[in-house]
Amino acid sequence: MRGSRRLVLAAIAVFLLPGAAPVGAQDRAVCVSESLGPQVRTALLRHVQRARDAGIPPRLVCRKINEGVSKRVPGRRLVTGTAGFVDALIVAREAAGPRASPEVLASAVDAVERGVPPQRVRAFLQANPNPRRSVVGLRVLAEFTEAGIPADAAARAVNAGLDRGMRGERLLAFSAAVRRRIRQGEAPPAALRAELEGRNPVEGRRRRN
Amino acid sequence: MTVDPRLQEWLDGEISEDQLPLELRGEAAEWSALLRELEELPVPGSAPGAEARIMAAVRRSDRESPAGAAAVRSWAAWLVLPRPIRLSPIVVAATLALVAWSLVRLVAPAGPAADGDPGRVFVQFVIAAPEARSVALAGDFNDWDPSIELSDPDLDGVWSARVALDPGVHEYMFVIDGSEWRPDPNSLSYSDDGFGQRNSVLAVSPLEGT
């Protein structure tokens, strides 16, 4: 009798602990609001399920849907935007591998959407397994590719910047400076070389404590 | 006052009332009435007949109630009745620590303004919007809920907010007057949001030593 009472007390204590509750709640989160209308809702749920079937955390798709809902994107556009995102997500997942973190996956999606071939994404991640390099590195690789720099040259330039210690906003500033030079008419190789040689890299305008 | 020895013997039960002389029988009747009144007086601390009623109820409940009900009563009594509890100091300390940790988790939910998180980095968001009556910030860090309000205390049209963010890459936009979504013109990078607009991209580096 005494043992069972202790068991009951322990169960009550575990039940009262608030720490474990949020995780379960997140996993069960229903991100597709009923206010969206039945057709839109059904279509969005299908894309959430498509991501889940591919082994992708549904919360990544939910976040994209929430973004569209917050921006008051019309229903049809919300569905097509979400569908495109899930398509890119599945390709990015294939390229990045099943162990890729959500942050790496998000950058890989951006790269795929901007035209970086999946095999280039995979190669870049294999060369840069540390997320501190790869998360921003993939973004810049995508920007260079979108700016018309051949994929091999773009990857080498990003790796060169990373090897020079460029991280975070500094790497984004490097990318912005290269693209500005290209827009102003410089040939991509010349623009890359000029910025890698450190000619007045653009500093971020944000202040940070 | 002295009591007649024969009356005393009768009171002690040593002789019957018939053995008393006639002159003592009137006094004996008075004693009998007094003794009956004494027997009917309530016992201090309990209601008249309470003991009998309680014992009858106990006997009735023992006969009538099933084993389950008895177990429930036992549990109820165990929960309700006060009792001394002996705990070692280490158990008390661990329990208090657990309660404190739970309260902290309950009171301080994860959010962009969790200033106490040592892994987070403060970022100053600034946008010039002199025509705006309100400016808010939304991004992947708050699930695109435009709940972070920027302020313009000196009314110069430059709105700002200081937000604690996790290191990594974040996409965000400003929301002007609650409806117009606008990318940050000072952002170093942008990303197509898939819905026809561009998100600003921000890379937050971890603080040195973290």
pLDDT tens readout for residues B98-150? 988 888 766 554 444 445 566 889 999 999 999 999 999 999 999 999 999 99
Task: Decide: A121 and A92 in contact? Cβ < 8 Å.
Answer: yes
Confidence of residue A208 (pLDDT cuts 50, 70, 90): very low
- Selected residue with higher pLDDT from B7 and A12: B7
Bridge partner list, A25:
none
Tokens of B169: 């890459």
Decide if pLDDT at B47 tops 70: no
DSSP string computed for B145-157: ---EE-B-TT-SS
Min CA distance, B134 vs chain A (Å)?
16
Q: What is the pLDDT of residue A23?
A: 35
- Selected residue with higher pLDDT from B51 and A206: B51
Decide if pLDDT at A6 tops 70: no
Amino acid, res. B210:
T
* Lowest mean pLDDT, pick from A43-47, A168-172, B150-154: A168-172
CA distance A93 to B67: 61
- Selected residue with higher pLDDT from B67 and B22: B22
Give the start-end residues of each E strand in B7-166.
121-128, 135-139, 148-149, 158-165
Query: Any idea what DSSP says for residue B189?
Result: E
Decide if pLDDT at B210 tops 90: no
Bridge partner list, B199:
B191
Q: What is the pLDDT of residue A207?
A: 39
Q: Helix or strand or coil: residue A15? A: helix
Q: What is the pLDDT of residue A27?
A: 40
pTM of the complete model beyond 0.90: no
Residues of A in contact with B77 (CB under 8 A): none
For chain A, positions 59-98, list CB contacts with chain B under 8 A.
63-64, 66-73, 77-78, 81-82, 84-85
Percent of residues, chain B, with pLDDT higher than 70 = 80
Distance of CA B53 to the CA centre of its chain: 39
Q: What is the pLDDT of residue A84?
A: 96
| Mean per-residue pLDDT over chain A, rounded | 83
CA distance A88 to A21: 32
- Over range B136-165, report the average pLDDT: 95
* B194/A81 touch (CB, cutoff 8 Å), yes or no: yes
Tens-place pLDDT, residues A81-140: 999 999 999 999 999 999 899 899 999 999 999 999 999 999 999 999 988 889 999 999
Residues 6 or more apart whose CB falls under 8 angstroms from that of A204 comprise A169, A170, A172, A173, B188
Bridge partner list, B202:
B170
Give the start-end residues of each E strand in A92-195.
none
Tokens of B170: 């974040």
| B174, closest residue in chain A (CA to CA) | A71
Tokens 């009735």 correspond to B60
Residues of B in contact with A17 (CB under 8 A): 98, 102
Mutate to test the interface with B, among A169, A170, A179 (most CBs of B within 10 A): A169
Tokens of A198: 């450190």
Query: Any idea what DSSP says for residue B197?
Result: S
Number of residues assigned to chain A: 209
Tokens 């040593």 correspond to B14
| Mean per-residue pLDDT over chain B, rounded | 83
* Lowest mean pLDDT, pick from A14-18, A201-205, B79-83: A201-205
Tens-place pLDDT, residues B53-97: 777 776 776 666 666 777 888 888 888 888 777 888 888 899 899
Closest CA to B99 of A21, A5, A19: A19
CA distances from B53 to A32, A35, B48, B64, B166 (A): 65, 65, 9, 16, 71
Q: What is the pLDDT of residue B19?
A: 86
Q: Which residues of B touch A (CB under 8 A)?
A: 78, 98, 101-102, 105-106, 109-110, 121-126, 138, 140, 143-146, 162, 167-169, 173, 179, 181, 186, 188-189, 191-197, 201-206
Provide the angle, in degrees to the nearest 10, between the axes of the packed helices A168-183 and A188-196: 140
